[in-house]
Amino acid sequence: MFSLAAQRLTGRRKHAAILLSNGKVLVPGVSDNRDWRGEYSSAEVYDPARGTFAAAGSMGSARFKIPEAVALLKEGRVLIARGTSFPEVYDNSDATFSRADGSLEASRFFASVTLLPSGEALITGGYADIHRGLPSTSSAWLYRP
């Protein structure tokens, strides 16, 4: 059986949702019905104990098409590695986003992130919005927290 959990602050699509170590859910990234022209940098956190959404700060860049490119790191921070060439990390302790060191060479869309047993994150594939086309990549990157 389904029941309404809560009303989000912003209508979202092509976003991500990830369970945080404190039991809340981070919902970063968004596009509205304008798709590429409707990207936002905002994020929300769902609190299941209260049944409410609250603002969770803003990423440094607007991002969408990110569902498979978000990973909960071992220390509890969240890696967001798609939507621009510069991944970001969300720190739940102070509800802030910061730019991660390094670059993915171009804005990556539909890349995937997998957390490795070492605590590193493997970022693979995706396509880039460059050179008037959408070339896919065979490149892979490692994020070392």
Contact 94, 79 (CB under 8 A): no
Structural domains of the chain sorted by starting position, each given as residue range(s) with its CATH number in brackets: 18-143 (2.120.10.80)
**Residue-level length of the chain:** 145
Local confidence pLDDT in tens for the 145 residues of the chain = 988 788 777 766 667 889 999 999 998 877 655 555 657 778 899 999 999 999 898 888 877 667 788 899 998 999 988 777 889 999 988 889 999 998 888 777 788 899 999 999 999 888 776 666 677 778 889 999 9
3-state secondary structure of 115: strand
Beta strands in the chain (DSSP E): 18-19, 25-31, 39-47, 52-58, 70-72, 78-80, 88-91, 96-99, 108-109, 112-115, 121-124, 127-128, 140-143
What's the whole-model pTM score?
A: 0.85
